[in-house]
Amino acid sequence: MIRHLATLALLITSAAPIAAQTFDTRATAAYVLDHSTGIVLLEKNADDPLPPASMSKLMTLYMAFEAINPLNGQDPIVTVDDILPVSQHCMNYTGSTMFLDTTDRVRVEDLLRGVIVLSGNDASCVLAEGLSRSGTEAGFAQQMAVRARELGMMNSSFANSNGWPAAGQRMSMRDLGILADRLITDYPTFYPLFSEQSFDYDGEHPANTQNRNPLLALGIGADGLKTGHTSEAGYGLVGSAKQGDRRVIFVITGLETAQARAEEAERIVNWAFRQFAQRDIARGGTRIAQAEVWMGDVPHVGLMLEEDLSLLVPTAGGAEIDAEVIFNGPIQAPVTQGDAIAELVIRLENLPETRVPLVADTTIAAGGFSTRLRTAADVLVERVRTPDDVVVEAE
């Protein structure tokens, strides 16, 4: 059953004018997410599994952070001070590296910086072998695939830890956005590593000491995450920037040059912050609507927000907005306060719809025989008057 909420639409409209410039990215594929609200601002081929190049190192880093500081309360697998050996396999990687040798024994913390700042293929491999249950990079790649699925990354597969070109190495832009969001949310103590602009591991290889993220020095709030480039993938970037209380995560790939990547990333950041603003709409506990209750000791239950509702809205004026409550009604008694029994669906022009759970604002017990009989009769009459597929204007 659907209830159209004219009053809520007016409330949101008064909070800010609606409309936004559309954005046409030059990237082959892109995904832009407002971190605070979870609203997707831009999608272009966002679910296509594409070669991720070094951007896939973010998955290795997430699993390394988990091994150091498990979120599930288990004991750490490694610490930042643990020392890991360098295998011949890892040393053989070329491209961007830490120039590691089989005689080296490297602290985990240095390996993390080697991956984040220097994009070291060898460093990523050493971490992978150290964390792999089989002791091999290939085994770790299998663990990466399993963990990615658990995180909701449904279009990712891995053949190695570092994005070295391989047939089985694919990630979608949405998956990379999900991963960046989890890195920022789950591991705030490690996240500052992504904004470090240089790292000189041993002082002997000055050719690779600078962070490749082109936005870090621009003063636009950029503070992460990872670049990527191969001839197959083109130039890509998983980035994040924070201005005020807002944070934006963006993923692009397929640019033809490093300069084009830098320019497109800056365009996206400026667009996302200038064209949208976050607005507080309603407090948690606000009753939004009510739903009929089948066989309850009262005929209706209030539907309220469980948490404060904030929306990201375009900053410049004059477009359509609509809000609806959707539930399978009438609701079957008994109902427990706090049960999620409906959704508030908000649609703003040029933005994906926002879905917010609504919960019961009170507990309703199953009624006795006479109450249930009367409720059943009332609901049946209502159904005759108003079929479920008809939109009903709220009073």
Percent of the residues in the chain that have a pLDDT greater than 70, as a whole number? 86
pLDDT of residue 55: 99
Tell me, yes or no, whether 8 and 92 share the same domain: no
Span 196-236, pLDDT tens digits? 999 999 878 777 899 999 999 999 999 999 999 999 999 99
Span 258-267, pLDDT tens digits? 999 999 999 9
Tell me, yes or no, whether 160 and 93 share the same domain: yes
Span 126-163, pLDDT tens digits? 999 999 999 999 999 999 999 999 999 999 999 999 99
Tell me, yes or no, whether 216 and 133 share the same domain: yes
Which of 254, 276, 298 terminates a domain? The answer is 276
Tell me, yes or no, whether 64 and 185 share the same domain: yes
Whole-prediction pTM = 0.81
Cα separation of 269 and 328, whole Å?
Answer: 40
Residue 391, pLDDT above cutoff 70? no
Which of 213, 241, 276 terminates a domain? The answer is 276
Residue 366's CATH number: 2.60.410.10
**Domain tally, the chain:** 2
Which of 237, 256, 276 terminates a domain? The answer is 276
pLDDT of residue 342: 94
Tell me, yes or no, whether 7 and 99 share the same domain: no
